[in-house]
Structure 1
């Protein structure tokens, strides 16, 4: 097995991944910007570590690294320099982002990655492994689908890094894909009722990464993403959208991020163990036939650990041509079914009334 690095190993999710990797007999190099934050974990786990910033010299730190699992957000800031360092060093690049702009940027580098024989795959965690696999499963069930909706329901807690990423998106609204093109819509204006797997619930459209990745996985031109939310909260969210210019200011975001540093901690193991995720997807063709797929998975953070490590493991032993990939594009729709805590897909078909 090749040599690989977890960059951002001192963060909440990076540390979870590092600990699970060691429990599986893997020996990642721990990386990050601050040696004082990385060294204690590296010493505890008896792992090598490297501390370096993501600047023009970063590629030199990756010369003997075969693969980087990038866990240091916010990814719209950190992914571009790490990707280019990986391309320069001919090192495979994975990350655990859910940010649409990062997915689109990573996809734009497909030709260069193919020339370098480097694999680029963003979103190897909960964002977007289970929903990406659901998208491909529905495409396999309905090859002529023209519409795709994806979503999830979970009582999971939230980590500081995830919260900071959400803050960066304030004021930007929601997003969906219409006729193959990404379109921004006011947050709170997309509403419907969905049974994610534990009963019908009111739901709201969100700017989830699949509006980018599922298009590259399936080619389906119309894609939306959804989470459960009460009607009153959807209404409040829509009103909040009117404050978009204020929410988008750096001043407001810095104030919120300061509060995150003081108040937010990631969910502990007991919370994660009792908070499975329910994944839902719906495909529809021009004849009005509908296919619905559902699957239950581990907690969103545990699935990020399991999904990222499985993709790392397979990339280090399998020979795959370089280029941009989505998780399901790499390893198929069954990838999520084979992860700890996951069930199997259940598919229902609905025909239009005559």
Structure 2
């Protein structure tokens, strides 16, 4: 291996690592706020990439029908919950309308817009708007009633949600793989390196989202509420912060990050209905490097995972996944020896 090959592999690893960084930060966010180790984060990636791919064919994506079904179930649960509590009809009707309003509106817009053949960037925005509501719906259907359960119970639920979303993706998207067109076809030569326009977009989009997340948590009231919930859920409740709303907001943000990651990675590789699992798992490995608690360390760990994957694929392509996932073992051992916990923790 000479310097030029090492440079190309490093660039490739950093490009993939930028996407893993987004997924790692989403994983840290969800665990900090809700204590959920969200294994299906990668499913949002697949949903985003496949939705855009089907919109490119001027057809209505299966995401629309899945969103409407989940919305109908969540709305029905709101009604049943309101009736059981004996709440006034106006209150639970308003809650049901709030649950259904946005998903139904964006689904109808997508049904109208899909055959129109809009430009790629318009379809990308429509994809983000369509996939993002899945976050709050998944939380509402799978986690909200178990918000005070143990981490182990929530992890088991996450496994079930992963299999459910994977099966639904196969049903609504089919087994065929898709590769999306690049958002920018320009190429730049830097010595022995050739930097594609898509890679530039990945770097810029990832950096912009990281800055926006920093400003959100540091400057906005909602961001500070999420931070308070992450530090002390009971204390946040006593201060009037709804842990339910915090959970829904954090899952909505995670779905947006996952959908954006799907748009970014779609032009670089073929995405199938189950491709999101491995992609999300690499983001999870990066989050574990950060102890599921630090956003900057998660980003650094993600870049390390990307570079390790790139060099691993060069030296032993058949074992690149094994190399990446095995790297988590010494990190877990080091953290266990450095900061031992009791069984209750």
Output the TM-score relative to the length of structure 2: 0.23
Greater fraction of residues in helix? 2
Greater fraction of residues in strand? 1
Structure number with greater CO (CA < 8 Å, separation at least 6) is 2
Output the TM-score relative to the length of structure 1: 0.23
